[in-house]
């Protein structure tokens, strides 16, 4: 966290927690179902290369599943740091910096505004909702959210939708940190 910025937490809502548990269980279960028979088959093949290939294939499936879960967790927003001229989406891997300029729009987004959006590149429910999305009437936007309500729009050329736990205080702080015209 920046020493000069204010931190706003982004907690997962119950829907996202449920989706995360469900998707994680499916990924782990499917990976184990595919990998364990492969690792157990190694003794069934007299050819050493075939046994090694089956054993490696089973472990590779588990490693890919673990990497998928870790990367989705690491790219999900954990909170937002607001400081003069900048909002940073706090996430363990590749934090996102949103520059604030004079004229940047910061406002609460209406409920249901993003319902029915198309995900063009991103994640829609494993540890968060983040990436590029599109919706008719809204256009292309970037979403870094942990809930489906309490959306805040930050717009200056690009549209960013964020979900701090305290949207009113977040909006107030971002407006206070906007550079003067």
pLDDT tens by residue, the chain, 181 residues: 456 789 999 999 999 999 999 989 988 888 878 776 665 555 555 554 454 455 666 777 888 888 999 999 999 999 999 999 999 999 999 999 999 999 999 999 988 888 889 999 999 889 999 999 999 999 999 999 999 889 999 998 899 999 999 999 999 999 999 998 7
Parent domain of 101:
1-181
Per-residue pLDDT of 27-40, as tens digits, reads 888 887 877 666 55
What's the structural domain count of the chain? Answer: 1
Task: Select from 133, 136, 134 the least CA-distant residue to 144.
Answer: 133
| Helix, strand, or coil (residue 93) | coil
Q: For 96-116, write each residue's pLDDT tens digit.
A: 999 999 999 999 998 888 888
Instruction: Find out whether 78 and 163 touch, Cβ atoms under 8 Å.
Output: no
- So what's the pLDDT on residue 21? 94
- Collect all residues with Cβ–Cβ distance below 8 Å to 27 and sequence separation of at least 6: 65, 68, 69
């Amino acid at each position: 966290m920046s020493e000069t910025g204010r931190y706003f937490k982004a907690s997962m809502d119950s829907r996202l927690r449920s989706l995360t548990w469900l998707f994680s269980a499916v990924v782990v279960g499917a990976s184990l179902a595919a990998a364990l028979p492969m690792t157990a088959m190694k003794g069934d093949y007299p050819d050493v290369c075939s046994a090694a290939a089956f054993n490696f294939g089973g472990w590779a499936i588990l490693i890919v599943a673990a990497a998928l879960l870790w990367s989705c967790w690491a790219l999900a927003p954990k909170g937002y740091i607001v400081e003069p001229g900048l909002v940073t989406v706090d996430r363990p891997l590749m934090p996102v910096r949103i520059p604030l300029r004079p004229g940047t729009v910061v406002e609460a987004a209406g409920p249901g505004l993003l319902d029915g959006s198309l995900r063009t590149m991103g994640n829609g429910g494993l540890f968060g909702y983040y990436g590029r999305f599109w919706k008719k009437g809204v256009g292309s936007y970037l979403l870094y959210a942990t809930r489906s309500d309490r959306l805040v729009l930050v717009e200056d050329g690009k549209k960013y939708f964020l979900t701090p736990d305290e949207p009113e205080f977040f909006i107030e702080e971002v407006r206070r940190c906007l550079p003067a015209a």
